[in-house]
């Protein structure tokens, strides 16, 4: 979980990044409730159905507005105050849940009698603005998202928990996948290994594609397709831990040997990762990282089979800035967590993708994901 010190530091950073003075900031994007307050309702509990909440910030105080049904998560939030109206007491019919929190939110905002508001216009409840007279409104979303790029120590600690879960899940797949299993069986194997590593229920999502689906679909969620001996199996998934996620990819032949062409593709992809790593450092242009990955495939005459991006940023979103694409205007900075994921796809041969995650450091990078990348099971 994120620390109180980290959440306070990020809130202070937000205030300093504002273009002008502001009386009250209202944070309503669920990802930013994690980022700024460690408010992480579990998707595995009935009490989080149709939840909503908001963070009301003044220069010297942070108040979380969230109903009492979310009590266990309210208690873990790093704030100065929790405003928790009763929603359902088990004795009376419950009001509309989100509107109930909205009324408490409006009352909390009005305590400060704000003349200027900072809001995330893409996610703020419309009721916050209805009938309210203010002199200025600042859209917070384009301010917060760039701040999210440079990860703090507590964020990295959570991300590394996701990385360890992803490594355990990839290892379980390499050891446990057998012909006759379905793609859904593989998903359950992966999810079980990830949850055991984290020590709690986790969401695992991504691509679980086998055989011709690797080449024609380049992935997709698991299906009932039965895996046969000699099939390629592409596993590209994320494990969400407290809102943060890494991104782990490996492709291997199930109970068989890769063809000469498949091995050529594998070695080319591994070489492309190394070519991208050679450019990973603060100040590097993201389009140059992409060019390095693609450029390594050109002498092999395989670049036309690489039809996706070279990588992207990670954290509370996926993908998120920066983006390793030919027309990127991004620049790498210290604290970025990024992925490189070259892939090659050709019907009749198969499709494969491999991926590593990295932290950009003052002197280059640190590899965060260390799962086995191999074409043989």
> What are 175-225's pLDDT values in tens digits?
999 999 999 999 999 999 999 999 999 999 999 999 999 998 789 999 999
**Comma-separated ranges of CATH 3.40.350.10 domains in the chain:** 4-147
Measure the CA dihedral 286/287/293/298, to 10°.
-170
Kindly state the helix (H) or strand (E) to which residue 216 belongs, with its residue range.
helix 212-216
- Cβ neighbours around 257 below 10 Å, total: 12
Do 68 and 84 contact (CB within 8 A), yes or no?
Answer: yes
pLDDT of residue 136: 87
Classify residue 331 by its DSSP letter.
Answer: B
Which among 367, 207, 350 is positioned nearest to 276, based on CA atoms?
A: 367
**Comma-separated ranges of CATH 3.90.230.10 domains in the chain:** 153-367
CA neighbours closer than 13 Å in the CB half-sphere of residue 109: 26
Whole-number Cα distances in Å, 57 to 33, 81, 105, 240: 12, 10, 12, 27
- DSSP bridge pairs for 338: 313, 358
Compute the distance between CA of residue 206 and CA of residue 208 in angstroms, rounded to an integer: 7
Q: In the structure encoding, which two tokens stand for residue 167, read together?
A: 């490594």
pLDDT of residue 129: 83
Question: In the CATH scheme, what architecture does the domain 4-147 have?
Answer: 3-Layer(aba) Sandwich (3.40)
Q: Where does 153-367 sit in CATH, by number?
A: 3.90.230.10
- pTM of the shown model: 0.95
Q: In the structure encoding, which two tokens stand for residue 2, read together?
A: 């994120």
- DSSP bridge pairs for 331: 285
Compute the distance between CA of residue 306 and CA of residue 344 in angstroms, rounded to an integer: 5
- Which residue numbers in the chain have pLDDT < 50? none
Whole-number Cα distances in Å, 24 to 4, 81, 300, 347: 21, 15, 57, 56
Helix (H, G, I), strand (E, B) or coil at 258: coil
Compute the distance between CA of residue 332 and CA of residue 256 in angstroms, rounded to an integer: 40
Classify residue 192 by its DSSP letter.
Answer: H
pLDDT of residue 243: 97
Mutual angle of helices 183-198 and 153-176, in 10-degree steps: 140
| Cα-Cα-Cα-Cα dihedral sign, residues 122, 128, 129, 134 | negative
- Cβ neighbours around 100 below 10 Å, total: 18
Which among 95, 98, 107, 235 is positioned nearest to 176, based on CA atoms?
A: 235
Which among 316, 151, 173 is positioned nearest to 246, based on CA atoms?
A: 316
Contacts of 322 (CB under 8 A, 6+ apart): 149, 286, 312, 313, 328, 330, 331, 332, 336, 338
């Amino acid at each position: 979980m994120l620390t109180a010190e980290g959440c306070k530091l990020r809130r202070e950073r937000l205030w300093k990044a504002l273009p002008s003075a502001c009386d009250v900031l209202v944070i309503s994007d669920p990802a930013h409730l994690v980022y700024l307050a460690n408010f992480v309702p579990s998707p595995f509990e009935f009490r989080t159905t149709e939840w909503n909440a908001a963070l009301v910030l003044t220069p010297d105080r942070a108040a979380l507005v969230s109903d009492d049904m979310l009590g266990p998560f309210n208690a873990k939030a790093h704030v100065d105050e929790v405003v928790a109206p009763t929603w359902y007491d088990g004795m009376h019919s419950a009001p509309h849940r989100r509107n109930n929190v909205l009324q408490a939110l409006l009352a909390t905002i009005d305590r400060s009698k704000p003349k200027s508001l900072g809001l995330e216009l893409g996610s703020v409840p419309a009721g916050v603005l209805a009938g309210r007279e203010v002199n200025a409104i600042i859209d917070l979303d384009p301010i917060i998202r760039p701040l999210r790029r440079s990860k703090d120590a507590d964020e990295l600690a959570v991300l590394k928990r996701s990385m360890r879960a992803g490594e355990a899940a990839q290892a379980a797949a390499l050891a446990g996948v057998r012909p006759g299993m379905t793609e859904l069986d593989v998903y359950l194997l992966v999810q079980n290994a990830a949850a055991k590593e984290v020590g709690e229920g986790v969401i695992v999502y991504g691509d679980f594609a086998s055989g011709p689906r690797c080449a024609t679909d380049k992935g997709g969620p698991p299906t009932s397709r039965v895996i046969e001996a000699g099939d390629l199996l592409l596993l590209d998934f994320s494990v969400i831990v407290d809102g943060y996620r890494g991104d782990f990819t490996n492709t291997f032949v199930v109970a068989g040997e890769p063809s000469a062409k498949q091995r050529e593709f594998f070695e080319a992809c591994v070489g492309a990762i190394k070519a991208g790593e050679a450019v990973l450092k603060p100040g590097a242009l993201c389009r140059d990282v992409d060019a390095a990955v693609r450029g390594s495939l050109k002498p092999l005459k395989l670049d036309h089979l690489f039809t996706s991006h070279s990588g992207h940023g990670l954290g509370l979103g996926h993908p998120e800035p920066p983006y390793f694409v030919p027309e990127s205007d991004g620049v790498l900075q210290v604290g970025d967590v990024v992925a490189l994921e070259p892939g090659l796809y050709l019907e009749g041969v198969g499709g494969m993708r491999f991926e590593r995650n990295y932290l950009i450091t003052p002197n280059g990078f640190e590899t965060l994901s260390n799962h086995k990348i191999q074409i043989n099971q």
